[in-house]
């Protein structure tokens, strides 16, 4: 049994830095360019693995150099990639990312092979986490299988969109940012549709949790950890991976959220997504 199974996307991130993000129709001179491993599935898998979890990744890549490179990145962090499919006629996904001097970013994602992902089988896991850069019906299929095996399910509803009851009724924890929360109708609506806990990431404002138990709803706040941000790309994925790892380890939600908040904060202090993800020791040091 794995601690965490991640069902999600794999992308090659093409990252440009610039003094500021361009306005519509505007060209802005850039300063640097780099290519990094990315995609919410790979990101969250790496983040969970670096937090000490045993992780399997279900994803799809193209039969190309980018796909081979990204599989190797996952393997280097000890992630099981036996369920990462290789498609022969569609390239590996890409994300076009611009980061400004204030560490804010804008992102355009080209799905590529991610759009062809099919969940044929799901390994046993304590926690199954998915996002929305893959076909929605495959997220539902994965969570149906997970619930049938007694796994806890976490949905990161990104990119944001309206979600059907068929999916939400299969979610134990939903982790949106503030924009994504608005698109799914708010925390109260999610709880009314079957979700047990809504964990809202708010950047420098911290994390707000709204959860229900025994017909009682409570809300509480986890303050942000103080760091000096360089690049916020992947910070939400660092949070989600760390949260999944700690819930799989048996932490209660409050302890897992605090740990994840520290992990997400540290991920903003290094450029890129996967290169920025901290390990368990670094997170523990920030929490002291």
Element (H, E) at 62: strand 55-62
Calpha distance 102→228 (Å, rounded) = 10
Q: What is the C-alpha to C-alpha distance for residues 118 and 134, in angstroms, rounded to an integer?
A: 9
Any catalytic annotation for residue 13? no
| Percent of the chain that is helix, strand, coil (3-state, to 5) | 35, 30, 35
Prior bond of 34 cis (ω within 30°): no
Name the pairing type of β-strands 207-213 and 11-17.
Answer: unpaired
Q: CB within 8 A of 139, min separation 6: which ones?
A: 7, 130, 131, 132, 155, 167
What is the rounded CA–CA span in Å between residue 268 and residue 271?
Answer: 7
Q: Which of 64, 77, 172, 237 is catalytic?
A: 237
- How many other C-beta atoms lie within 10 A of the C-beta of residue 122? 21
CB 10 within 8 A of CB 249: no
Contact 87, 66 (CB under 8 A): no
DSSP 22: P
- Alpha carbon distance 118, 107 (integer Å): 25
Task: Report the catalytic residues.
Answer: 237
């Amino acid at each position: 049994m794995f601690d965490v199974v991640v069902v999600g996307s794999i992308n090659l991130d093409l990252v440009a830095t610039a003094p500021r993000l361009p306005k519509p129709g505007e060209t802005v001179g850039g300063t640097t360019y780099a290519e990094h491993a990315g995609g919410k599935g790979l990101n969250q898998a790496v983040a969970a693995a670096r937090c000490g979890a045993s992780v399997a990744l279900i994803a799809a890549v193209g039969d190309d150099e980018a796909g081979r490179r990204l599989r190797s990145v996952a393997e280097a962090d000890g992630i099981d990639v036996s369920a990462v499919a290789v498609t022969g006629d569609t390239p590996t996904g890409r994300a076009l990312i611009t980061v400004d001097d204030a560490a804010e970013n804008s992102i355009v994602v080209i799905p590529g092979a991610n759009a062809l992902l099919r969940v044929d089988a799901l390994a046993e896991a304590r926690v199954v986490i998915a996002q929305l850069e893959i076909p929605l019906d495959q997220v539902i299929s994965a969570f149906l299988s997970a619930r049938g095996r007694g796994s806890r399910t976490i949905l990161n509803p990104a990119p944001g969109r309206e979600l059907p009851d068929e999916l939400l009724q299969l979610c134990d924890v939903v982790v949106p940012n503030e924009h994504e929360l608005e698109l799914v109708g708010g925390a109260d609506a999610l709880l009314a549709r079957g979700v047990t806990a809504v964990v809202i990431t708010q950047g420098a404002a911290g994390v707000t949790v709204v959860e229900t138990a025994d017909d009682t709803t409570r809300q509480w706040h986890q303050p942000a950890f103080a760091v000096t941000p360089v690049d916020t790309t992947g910070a939400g994925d660092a949070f989600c991976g760390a949260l999944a790892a700690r819930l799989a380890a048996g932490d209660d939600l409050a302890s897992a959220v605090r740990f994840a908040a520290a992990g997400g904060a540290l991920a903003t202090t290094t450029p890129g997504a996967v290169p920025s993800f901290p390990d368990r020791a670094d997170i523990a040091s920030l929490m002291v």
